[in-house]
Structure 1
Amino acid sequence: MAENENTMNAPVSAAPKDDEISILEVCGILWGKKFFLLFCLILGAVVGVLAAYWIRPQYTSDALLQIDVSGSASAKALGDMGALLESSSPADAEIELIKSRMVLNDVVEQEKLCYSATPIGKMNRLLHREGRMDLDSLYIPEFARTEEWKAVVLSPDSFAVLDPEEKQVLRGEVRKLLVAPYAGDTLAIRVSLLRAEAGEEFALAQSSPLNVARALATGLEIAEKGKKTGILTMNFSHRYPDRAAAILNAVANAYFRQNVEMRSAEAEKTLAFLEEQLPAVKAKLDTSEKVLADYRFQVGSVDMTGETHALLEKETNLQKQLLELGAERQRLVRLFTEEHPNVQTIVAQQQRIQNELNRLKKNAEKMPKTQQEILRLQADLSVNNTVYLDMLNKIQQFRVVRAGAIGNVRIVDYAQVETKPSKPKKTMIVLGSVAGGFVLGVLIIFFLRALSPRGVRSSVELERETGEVVLAKIPRTFSRVLTNRRRSGEGNPILVLEDPDDPASENIRSLLTAVEFGMLSKTNNVIMVTGIDKGIGKSFISLNFAAAMANAGKKVLLIDADMRRGKLIRKRRKGLVEVLLGKESLDSMVTLYDNVENLYVLSTGILNVTASELLRGQAFANLVAEAREKYDVVLIDTPPVALATDAELMANLASLVLFVIKYNTHSMEEIQEMLKRLKRYLNGQIALVMNSCMRERGYGYGYYGGYGGGYSRYEKY
């Protein structure tokens, strides 16, 4: 018989919509699939362990650089002309320079990164027992570089190279350049280091410097420590710790060298520019001297007043200040934008001095024309002389800078060889894989659940749509008493007697109370229990409902009228069929059920004719009439309505039909259709019983909903 799936009591204040799902329901669903979830967890753990050991260990080395973001000492020493040498960049720009091909191409060539020999053995990789082969040189003909080449270890100091067709091309020893002809071209290889057992294989590959430089740039992790500190940390990971440190140090050295060369080249270019401009400045100075001398010779001796000398000296100083401010502005513009406050301050000072010069020129216009001209010519001579002397000074300074040029980069810490791998994080991988297995299992459960049809869950909706009362909502249970009884093969267990504290037992007794005080006719004591389909717990409810009535002192006859699949009695024996055929009497076929006082049962019997033919005759009605006289209550367990017409044929004999609906299984249309079929033959009342319900958020199992905490041992479905 029967499913040990049960339910709860009827009246509820508010019901959730059918598309809502509570956390308790989710937990119930997952608990129902606990073995599948356990399988997913174990599978995830196995995959995680395999992945953690399959990933090759990676060792991460780090180096520390300092960038002088304020400019070099030589640039500062040049004072106003420092803008011509100043080239410091923000840290972000320096990071991009480190990752540039200008720097990394040298590293690729120096560290022989275009050549690789990767271990092939899967088991060695899983057990972290892979060997190592380092290459100093490798040349594979260009037409065959995309194919698979192998190196096979012959001994600790020798190896052989196999072509893509597994043919040996050459063999030789470590640290020797080996060359062999191949397909009209040449194969060359030089192994610098070999640590592997005989028979181990390595995949040989020659990559383009461009692709290797790009991969190296991607693998470099560079970041500034703090904000505008100029301290850069560089990290690089490799499966060999010594190679990680060597490659990172090569990057640091290459960047440092490029930085020094760039600044030395800048000083060289600036010096060449100044030396190129020097003759023109000297010629301009000579011209101004000659023009002044010629004019003096032309006009003769001119008496220069003290005021004129003061005006000349002041104009000369202002012109010099303008030159200095122009150089300072040029330096600041290379560091900041034109809108920067420092630049704007310089602009304001230039404007102020220019205004002063304009004022002096207006004052000079009041002098005699001869003095005005001499004043102008002497000012030009003074300015040109100042420019010429400054340029000579800067040329000398840049010669000093060129001779001892240094960069604005300092290598603070070189990379060291690490002893512990930084990757993979085995614990995190395993935990992540276990979590992933759980999530995958949950997704599969709910995906399959979404594909399956959804049934009615709300008793309020059920009453509203059908117009019938829901007498009880019986929770699904996995009572240990029932489980142990069934495993022992002792027959169908009676929950209300063997586990009376179970919530399902409580709700079945509530169902009994509702039937006794409101539904059962005083003149007709026949109750029929039916449902839509098999597997809904109909027989479970029939047996336990009958046992509850018997336990209350009523003499009950339970008739197993499901002559096709009756399960109230495990072994088929004579019963209902024989009585209907007139072969046996009712009293002779009725037996006490499992020694339960007041509970009698009439089994299905041995069916050898069509069940509907037996039910259509008067014999079944006579049997029920006889039973009504001898028992306080007659309970008939019928076949499902959707599978046979038997229930419809028996419905007119009952004063009450308990129509069992399994929670979240039947659609509203299906329920309404089955009720419509049943009501065509019904003479009495009909009431609904929802079975195998789960406890939903906000309401409990009838008035037993307050038992919340005691439900932890029951599945929430």
Structure 2
Amino acid sequence: MNQNTQLTDDTIDLRELLFTLLTQWKLIVFCTVLALVCAATYLKVAKKTYSVDAKIQIIDNKQNGLAGLNAQLASLGSLAGVNLGGMGGAQSIQTEIEILQSRSILTKAIQDLNLDVQIQPEQSLINKFLSADQFQINYQADEIQVKNHKTQFSIHHFNIPPQYLDQNLILTFHGQSFKLVSEKTGLEVFKGTVNQKAKPATLQTAWAIDISSQQPLDGKYIVQKQSTLTAVKSILLNLKAAELAKQTGIISINYEGTDKAHIIKVLNHILEIYQEQNLATKSAEKEKTLSFLNQQLPELKNNLEQAERKFNAFRETHGTIDIQQESALYLKQSVELETQKVQLEQKQAELAAQYTPQHPMMQEINAQIGVFNKKINELNGALKKLPNTQSQYLQYYRDVQVQTQLYTNLLGTYQSLNLAKAGETGNLRILDYPVEPTRPIKPRKLIILVLSIFVGGFIGILIALIRNMLKTGVRNRDEIEQTVGVKTYAELSEISKKSNASLQSLKTFIPTLTFKLQQRQHNVTLISSIVPDQNQNIIAQHLALYLSQTGKKVLLIDSDLYRGQLDQLFNSSTKTGLSEYLRGQANLDQVIVNTTSPNLSLIGRGQSSDEISISSHQTHIAQLIQQVRAQYDYILLSAAPVLATSDSLTLAQFTGFNLCLVQYAQTQLKDIELAKSYFENAGLEIDGLILDQVPAYQTKQYQYQPN
């Protein structure tokens, strides 16, 4: 049973929530339209952002430090006790990306194109809206060209003291003069003349600003001279580089900005600098090796000639000596080790152009040279143990063979490096250069407009829900009856003042009201409200009309001397009413007005003032009601709110049925209880309630049958 009740309550809550939103559809539509207007304004003011891209292929022809040694070195790996296989490998793509985004590359681009000077016009939001996309900047190597509407000028130099870097300065033109004002302090920091060549900056004055123009200038601009670090960060915010796909060796570069021509120029210049530095690095490596070979070749040639002379002299003295197999093996190993040692020294000189002596690669190759030296010393020791004649013969023969092979190898390397240096191209290739974009990437109009609809609708729904939550008053007739103990006879729609149909439930209340009055042998009914209700006059009017339609004579008295509007609802032009009667300025016949509806008469409130009230004229009210009770079948008194004044309590002393209006979600339960206590303390009671301004989807018609 409890589960079913819980499910029913949840269903009612969801239904109420849905219809609460539907009743506030105008608010939701307004918020949605407002969000659309804001989005459209943003799209008009916001600058369009474009993106250009380029692609670079990293060619894997750069070998690791020792990969260029000849194949014999690999065969000696086991002999020398070293591993040469793990020293090679292509330079990683991530390394090239970091180089591309390094300060050494970007700083040169900034200096070449004066990208550290940022300038924009100082204008209001309206001016931005009207003059969007009319401000242009052209960054060049020797100047910055600025165009705005009909104004055009060039900045050739803009050197300022370090303390003003990264600060906004207001550049103001007036004819042929200009001045700079610090936006931070509001003080003027520099004043100059257009078309006057700037003086070089000195220790005494760090200002060197040169601005030229072919016409008188006017207007204000915001200029900022950025520090190198700030300018680099600004470029990095818009520059993105990543490997196109894994293991492809291709880097994709994207650069974003609001000026299509500018971003193409900047990205092209960055690529040029990157390519130049890459080629310079490759050339530096070969230059270092050639320098080493230039020193080694003359020395090797001299050593070769000396070894040949000694060997020839020994042969003339001793003739040819038979070399045993063991001696021949020692000779072969000695020649090969000496040759590979020199090649390692050659690579050591090449790596010195890239790494410091503390670099692991340099330490590794030094260790390998040490291993070869140790092995050579061991072979030399073994050769000394041979017979003296054979030992000397092998020594001379070995010297000749080693020097000949070393000289030949180094001479070939020298010639190859000279040829490679002449045709050096670097290890990268630019596949795609940036091209002019056709569409902006930001702002995305469709997405922003769609999001604005959702955001505006969400905000409207949120406000509607909050408004509904803030209405903490009574919402259910059962809640009132269980808590206060007063019956609710009708529920009226919140649009009752615009449509008679919304007041039809009052007709079902007529039999109950007639029965109650007959039961009490009284024909006077009080209509009031707990707190001020904007529909009270309309409800009183229609209740009187429905009673008159039963063929009975009805008198409606507007006893709300402060806010009564019944005379206006009945289009009565009579200025005399209840106020004049209470002051003795008119008699009963003068204040009663026949309406256009048969059987219905009206006493309007008249010309009220703060000095008059029902409570202060209780005797006159008693006389009035006594006179009209005999003339009319039903008398309705429309009174002021119970909690606002004591007039309703005064009138309730002369009535047979007291009816109060309660506003849906506005009137609090404690207010109803307080009003009831007022009546009970006066020996009276509230006989019934009408729940007013109920949402149309919750309006129900109730009819209490006489018991």
Match of 2:699 among 686, 689, 701: 701
Matching residue within 545, 568, 581 for 1:547: 545
1:215 corresponds to: 234
Q: Are residues 1:89 and 2:92 paired?
A: yes
* Counterpart-to-counterpart distance in 2, 1:56 and 1:689: 59
Query: In structure 2, what is the equivalent of residue 616 of structure 1?
Result: 618
Aligned pairs for 1:521-532 within 5 A: 521=519, 523-532=521-530
Alignment-derived partner of residue 28 in structure 1: 23
Report the Cα distance in structure 2 between the residues aligned to 1:435 and 1:140, rounded to whole angstroms. 49
3-state SS of 2:532 partner: coil
Contact map agreement 1:117 1:134 (CA 8 A) in 2: no
Report the more deviating stretch, 512-521 or 565-574: 512-521
Partner SS for 1:148 = strand
Q: How does 1:268-667 map to 2 (within 5 A)?
A: 271-272=350-351, 280=370, 282-293=372-383, 409-418=428-437, 421-425=440-444, 454-477=472-495, 482=498, 495-496=499-500, 502=501, 504-516=502-514, 521=519, 523-570=521-568, 571=573, 573-576=575-578, 589-593=591-595, 595-605=596-606, 610-612=612-614, 616-617=618-619, 620-621=621-622, 623-624=624-625, 627-667=628-668
Q: Which residue of 2 aligns with 1:129?
A: 134
Partners of 2:198 and 2:121 lie apart in 1 by: 21
Q: Secondary structure at the match of 2:106?
A: helix
Measured in 2, the distance between the counterparts of 1:287 and 1:84 equals 26
Deviation at 1:14, TM superposition (A): 6.1
The 3 A distance-change label for structure 1 pair 526 and 285 is: same
Q: 1:144/1:634 Cα in 2 relative to 1: closer, same or farther (>3 Å)?
A: same
- 1:212 CA displacement: 0.9
Q: Which residue is 2:161 aligned to? A: 142
In 2: Cα distance, 1:416 partner to 1:459 partner: 73
Relative to 1, partners in 2 of residues 1:204 and 1:539: Cα closer, same or farther, differing over 3 Å? closer
2:57 to 47, 57, 66: 66
Task: Render the CA deviation track for 1:83-104: whole Å, top value 9, x for unaligned.
Answer: 424243355x654443232332
Q: How far does the alpha carbon of each residue in 1:136-177 deviate from its partner, in whole angstroms, 9 at most, with x for none? A: 2535242674573748597xxxx866454497534438xxx7
- How many residue pairs end up in the alignment? 561
Q: Is the 8 A contact 2:36 2:453 kept in 1?
A: yes
Aligned counterparts of 1:645 and 1:133: Cα–Cα separation in 2: 80
Q: Tell me if structure 1 keeps the 8 A contact 2:558–2:603.
A: yes
Percent of matched pairs sharing the same residue: 20
Normalising by structure 2, report the TM-score.
Answer: 0.64
Cα shift at 1:238: 3.2
CA shift for structure 1 position 529: 0.8
Q: Report deviation, 1:413.
A: 0.7
SS at match of 2:519: coil
What is the alpha-carbon distance in structure 2 between the residues aligned to residue 130 and residue 648 of structure 1?
75
Does the 8 Å CA contact 1:17/1:458 hold for their aligned counterparts?
no
Q: 1:633 to 1:226 in 2, by over 3 A?
A: farther
CA-CA distance at 1:474 after TM superposition: 1.0
Q: Distance in 2 between matches of 1:555 and 1:230?
A: 101
Q: CA deviation at 1:610?
A: 4.2
Name the CA shift for 1:195/1:170 in 2 (closer, same or farther; >3 Å): closer
Answer whether contact 2:62 2:91 (CA < 8 A) is retained: no
Paired letter, 2:19: L
Q: Is the 8 A contact 1:572 1:606 kept in 2?
A: no
Could you tell me how far 1:572 is from its partner in structure 2? 5.3
Partners of 1:206 and 1:582 in 2: CA distance: 87
- In 2: Cα distance, 1:442 partner to 1:74 partner: 66
Q: CA deviation at 1:688?
A: 1.2
Unaligned runs of 5+ in 2: 1-7, 75-83, 143-155, 182-187, 290-346, 352-361, 391-401, 703-707
Residues 377-417 of structure 1: CA deviation (Å, up to 9, x unaligned):
xxxxxxxx9xx99xx99x96998698577765432211123
CA apart distance, 1:466? 0.8
- The alpha-carbon deviation at position 651 of structure 1 amounts to 1.8
Looking at structure 2, the residues matched to 189 and 665 of structure 1 have their Cα atoms a distance apart, in angstroms, of 69
Tell me which residue corresponds to 1:172: 195
Q: Determine if contact 1:575/1:603 at 8 Å carries over to the other structure.
A: yes
The CA deviation string for residues 168-192 of structure 1, in whole angstroms up to 9 with x for no partner, is: 534438xxx753678943644567x
1:530–1:620 Cα change, 3 Å: same
SS of the residue corresponding to residue 436 of structure 2 reads: coil
Report how far residue 234 of structure 1 moved. 2.0
Which residue of structure 1 lines up, in the alignment, with residue 151 of structure 2? none
- 224-233 vs 596-605, which moves further: 224-233
How far off its partner does 1:663 sit? Answer: 2.0
String of CA shifts for 1:28-79, please: whole Å, max 9, x gaps.
3463798xx47x956x6666555444444444322123356xx547569989
Three-state SS of the structure 2 residue aligned to 1:417 is coil
Q: How many angstroms does 1:539 deviate by?
A: 1.9
Higher RCO (Cα < 8 Å, 6 or more apart): 1
AA at the equivalent of 1:60: S
Q: 1:82 to 1:179 in 2, by over 3 A?
A: farther
For 1:584 and 1:286, locate their aligned partners in 2 and report how far apart those are by CA, in whole Å. 141
Counterpart secondary structure, 1:569: helix
Deviations 1:204-229 (A, max 9, x none): 54322222112111221334445554
- Contact between 2:99 and 2:105, CA under 8 Å: does it hold in 1? yes
* Deviation digits for residues 443-480 of structure 1 (CA, Å, limit 9, x no counterpart): 77877888x7743333332222211122222111176x
The two structures, once aligned, show a CA RMSD in angstroms of 4.9
The aligned amino acid for 1:521 is Q
Note the residue ranges of structure 1 that are not aligned, 5 or more in a row: 1-12, 301-384, 483-494, 497-501, 705-717
- Aligned mates of 2:474, 2:47 — CA distance in 1: 54
Q: Which moved more, 1:567-576 or 1:430-439?
A: 430-439
Q: Which amino acid aligns with 2:532?
A: K
> 1:673: Cα distance to partner?
0.6
